[in-house]
Amino acid sequence: MEIAFHIGANCTDGDRLLKSLLRDVDRLAEAGVAVPGPGRYRSILREAVAAEMQGRGAPGTREVLMDAILDGRETRRVVLSNSTFLALPARLFDGGAFYGTTAARLEALRRLFPGDRIELNLALRNPAGLVPAVWAQAKSRDIEGWFAGVGPERIRWFPVIEAIRRSAPEMGLRVWCNEDAALLWPDILLGLAGLGEGAPLSGRHDLLEAIMSPDGLERFRSYMSLHPGQTAEQERRVVGAFLDKYAIAAETWDEADLPGWTATTFAAVTEAYEADVARIAAMPGVTFLQP
């Protein structure tokens, strides 16, 4: 079976990807693609992964999980999504690194689904915005303890992607920048569903509802209805043009604050992120989506 797993990152899409796909759950089922609700799998899968990481995995867990997830339905592909799979907010720096338990989690996932084809899907986000957003969700108020000794210079995405490729080289890996998600939304949805370009999906413009003014959204929809049949590249250009004019600034820019970080810190973290993105885009074994 194919398992398309959206594994994060924290504070990126806010479950919008899953909600967009659930709008077409019946149509996707006809194509052999199951999109179960998150209540069916998030807690039990987290518990199963934790058990594997602690050496308490039990034989037959895969069958138990799939029975709970699919409720006996036959399918060729299942889409799972959990933006906190790699780390709960309070545990972003567990293991003494940014997403420091990534390798162990993916090795556990491999043991849970040994005969399945797993595809990982991951949205990167500039740590200058991600770290303050995750800190705001963490229950601890001990920020030094939360950082676990990890300084800003070590909050890098490239080592995380290296850990994924090293620990799970047989798993497909699709990566994009959350900052580009509005331009890539149809591509991301189609990739998760395993469908080709042009397949109809009701939620292909869902993200625009959150980041574009109502007037701009109405004009965009009117334009698209009058200009059907555009290629993915043409559609991205149209979306970009409308966002340039009608984007809601508060929804598209990070205005972050974090105890101990200065403007110089945020600038350095952003510069490191941009360098990492360029390196990740060129990595073998990574399908990097970009506008």
Give the pLDDT score at 37: 95
Q: What is the chain's mean pLDDT, rounded?
A: 93
Instruction: Please write the tens of the pLDDT for every residue from 1-23.
Output: 999 999 999 999 889 999 999 99
Residue 250: pLDDT band with limits 50, 70, 90: low
What does the pLDDT look like over 23-55, one tens digit per residue?
999 999 999 999 999 999 999 999 999 999 999
CA–CA gap between residue 251 and residue 1 (Å, rounded): 37
Residue 42 CB: number of other CB atoms within 10 A? Answer: 15
Tell me how many helices (H) and strands (E) the chain has.
14, 6
d(CA 218, CA 195): 27
Mean pLDDT (whole number) for 85-100? 97
| Averaged pLDDT for residues 257-272 | 94
Question: Each residue of 124-145: pLDDT tens digit?
Answer: 999 999 999 999 999 888 999 9
- For the chain, list the domains and their CATH numbers: 2-203+261-288 (3.40.50)
